[in-house]
């Protein structure tokens, strides 16, 4: 059996199409640069998806407080004109928050990232399986701080 790389190459050991190779055997500088560029693009896409995820979480938390904010003036027994101003202000704030998230979600960067993910799923549907709660029943263990408003 061949023991050093030259002997292995002559014997055909390890031959085959590899990532970043032009002829299947020898990596080239151009392919290495292309791989680095793809990796950087993927990292940028992941950062954008993380931003979308964080913003979606923040938006959902803000939306949960919309009704209580609307009712603040009513439950405090304030005059009608003050209640109206409070409700109007709360509605405008909520609309602005929704518009900010919608702009981020529908932006060019998001469209590119989500389209890339869709193409990847279509090209390799077996490699990506949907996340199911039933597969991970303990996914929220240790997250009691979400309900108790105490950080871990």
pLDDT in tens, the chain (152 residues): 444 444 444 444 444 334 444 445 566 777 878 888 888 988 998 898 888 888 888 888 888 888 887 777 677 778 888 888 888 888 898 899 889 888 988 999 999 998 988 888 888 877 677 778 788 787 767 656 555 655 54
Residues 6+ positions from 104 with CB-CB distance below 8 Å: 51, 52, 55, 110
Q: What is the pLDDT of residue 87?
A: 85
Name the H helices within 12-142.
29-64, 66-75, 80-105, 108-123
Residue 97 contacts residue 62 (beta carbons within 8 Å)? yes
Q: Per residue in 80-113, pLDDT tens?
A: 888 888 888 888 988 998 898 889 889 999 999 9
- Maximum Cα–Cα distance across the chain: 92
Residue 4 contacts residue 10 (beta carbons within 8 Å)? no
Domain ranges of the chain: 37-113
Residue 31 contacts residue 20 (beta carbons within 8 Å)? yes
């Amino acid at each position: 059996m061949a023991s050093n790389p030259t002997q292995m190459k002559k014997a055909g050991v390890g031959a085959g199409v590899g990532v970043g190779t032009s002829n299947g055997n020898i990596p080239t500088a151009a392919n290495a640069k292309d791989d680095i560029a793809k990796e950087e693009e993927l990292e940028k896409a992941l950062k954008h998806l993380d931003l979308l995820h964080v913003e979606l979480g923040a938006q959902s938390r803000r939306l949960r407080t919309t009704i209580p904010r609307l009712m603040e003036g009513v439950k405090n027994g304030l005059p009608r004109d003050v209640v109206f101003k409070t409700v109007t202000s709360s509605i405008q704030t909520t609309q602005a928050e929704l518009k900010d998230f919608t702009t981020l979600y529908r932006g060019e960067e998001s469209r590119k990232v989500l389209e890339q993910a869709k193409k990847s799923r279509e090209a390799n549907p077996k490699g990506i399986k949907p996340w199911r709660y039933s597969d991970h029943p303990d996914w929220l263990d240790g997250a009691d701080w979400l309900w108790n408003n105490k950080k871990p």
